[in-house]
């Protein structure tokens, strides 16, 4: 799969994402449900700890992708939801630590929400991937 970044302006690249990407030659696409900080039984973890919730949500996203035979390198779009955008942004270095080694910066939307589906959860990430 060929992947070409589209960035008419450079500011988003400094924040870790591209404005758009053009994909050619992809033959499979995976659409992941939102991943949160839950354990294998779906129980919320790390109440009140945004950093730990982001880290576990990313672990869960990687597990779902692995189940589909993909990695973070294959992610083509992200949707991120946080009950506290400022707290999420303070911990976005975790996103760079996960996506950076794959040298990808998928287009992303970050939205502040009043709550997520399960009380106590503060961060949710959904992804589309292609290979």
Report all structural domains of the chain as residue ranges with CATH numbers, in order of start: 28-130 (3.30.1330.40)
Overall pTM surpassing 0.75 (yes/no): yes
pLDDT in tens, 78-124: 999 999 999 999 999 999 999 999 999 999 999 999 999 999 999 99
| Geometric angle at alpha carbon 52, from 19 and 37, rounded to 5° | 80
Rounded to the nearest integer, the mean pLDDT of the chain is: 95
- Model confidence band, residue 29 (pLDDT cutoffs 50, 70, 90): very high
Q: What is the pLDDT of residue 1?
A: 85
* Cα dihedral value 112, 83, 40, 73, nearest 10: 30
């Amino acid at each position: 799969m060929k992947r070409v970044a589209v960035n008419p302006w450079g500011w988003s690249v400094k924040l870790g994402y591209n404005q758009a990407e053009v994909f050619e030659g992809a033959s499979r696409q995976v659409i992941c449900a939102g991943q949160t900080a839950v354990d294998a039984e779906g129980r919320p973890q790390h109440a009140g700890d945004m950093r730990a919730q982001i880290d576990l949500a990313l672990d869960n996203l990687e597990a779902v992708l692995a189940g589909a035979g993909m990695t973070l390198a294959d992610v083509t779009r992200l949707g991120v939801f946080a009950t506290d955008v400022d707290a999420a942004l303070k911990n976005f270095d975790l996103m760079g630590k996960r996506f950076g080694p794959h040298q990808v910066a998928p287009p992303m939307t970050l939205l502040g929400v009043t709550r997520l589906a399960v009380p106590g959860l503060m961060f949710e990430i959904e992804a589309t991937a292609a290979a």
